[in-house]
Amino acid sequence: MHALIDGVLTGSVYALMATGLTLIFGVMEIINVAQGILVILGAYFSYTLSTHFGIDLFLGLLITIPAMFVVGVVIERVFVARLKGPEKTAMSILVTYAIALVIEGSLNQIYSVNYQQLSAWYVNKSFELFGVYFPYIYVYGFLLAVGLLSALYVMLYRTRFGASIRASLADQAAAALVGIDVKRVSTICFGLGVAITGAGGMIYGATNTFNASSGADLISRLLTIIVLGGMGSLGGALVAGILMVTVEDIVGVVWSPIWSTMSFFIVLVVVLSLRPQGLFGKLSSRVA
């Protein structure tokens, strides 16, 4: 039971981080391999704000999220927007991998390779409910993820800009023919994807020790989640994020933590064997 609750709470944060990745892929057909290191960059932003400026981790997000949005917009404008043609998706892996290496190297230089963890009063304290102990940070992280994902949902389904994003997700040429500025939508989506990832980075940094190399482990998990959920499917990222982490936690408790990491990928192999398009993906003629 505890593992199940833990899985849902942690999984929602993974879902938040993976949503950024799948949004970027859905609109732009770009696989942003740098998403893992961008989570860590978000964590380091929070680390700097809390240790050097004494700003609360959640309050600090008011700075981190816009800052990460700007980072995303700059990466998109300078590097990603130049990718065109049929090789675009494949090239995006190489380009964003190079970006990831540069960010990782810079973070190592600035913060050293020592592991860090974000601290605040709610990071180490728990409360008890029905005999189960809930660490505050997991609950707050869950609420943050739910809040941000709900805001994203409202933006996508209740606003004109959201409609233009969904139209661009579906068919870029048709979107351009009704007057949607697909380039602008792409830039903003990349910024949004990186921004919400940065928010996830704060929770990740508060619940795990991290250094710049942690991004590599994260990106494999995030890619697994969006492939399982269906590439480009926002709902899929949410369900798959929670499912994967819950399965991992339950396997860790019931069998052994040694098997828990592997269970992540076993779930992927089993689901893809039955549904190659992922849980909520659609088979399409899109060629990567």
Partner 1 sequence: MAESTTFVTFSGVFAGYGGGDVLKDVTFEVPKGGVTTIVGPNGSGKSTLLKTVSGLVRPRLGTITFKEHNLVGMSPREILRLGVVQVPQNHSLFREMSVEENVELGAFLVKDKKVIKSRLDGVKAMFPIVAERAKDKAGSLSGGQQRLVEFARCLMLEPELVVLDEPSMGLDPKTLRSMFATVKLMNQAGRTVLLVEQNARQALKLSDYGVVLENGHVRLMGSGHEVLNHPEIGTLYLGGAISDDVAPPAASTTESEDPS
- Name which of 45, 44, 46, 41 is nearest 103 in CA terms: 41
Angle at 70 between CA 163 and CA 152, to 5 degrees: 30
- The closest alpha carbon to 107, from 31, 42, 54, 195, belongs to 42
Three-state DSSP state, 111: helix
> Considering the rule CB under 8 A, would residue 155 count as an interface residue with partner 1?
no
The CB-of-156 to partner 1 minimum distance in angstroms stands at 11
Does position 258 interact with partner 1 (CB under 8 A)? The reply is no
61 vs 165, beta carbon nearer partner 1 = 165
Secondary structure (3-state) at 129: strand
State yes or no: residue 85 binds partner 1 (CB under 8 A). no
- Kindly state the smallest distance separating residue 200's Cβ from partner 1, in Å: 26
158 touching partner 1, by CB under 8 A: no
**Closest-CA residue to 216 (of 104, 112, 90, 92):** 104
* Least distance from partner 1 to the Cβ atom of residue 189, Å: 16
User: Whose structure tokens read 């996508």?
Assistant: 156
Contact pick of 146, 166, 263, 275 for partner 1 (by CB under 8 A): 166
CB of 184 to partner 1, least distance (A): 10
Which is closer to partner 1, CB of 131 or CB of 179?
179
Residue 177 contacts partner 1 per CB under 8 A: yes
Query: H-helix or E-strand containing 126?
Result: strand 126-129
Q: Is 156 a binder of partner 1 (CB under 8 A)?
A: no
Q: Does 178 bind partner 1 (CB under 8 A)?
A: yes
Asked if 170 interacts with partner 1 (CB under 8 A), we say yes
Going through 93-136 in order, the beta strands assigned E by DSSP cover 126-129, 132-135
Min dist CB 277 to partner 1, Å, is 15
Q: Residue 147 CB: number of other CB atoms within 10 A?
A: 12
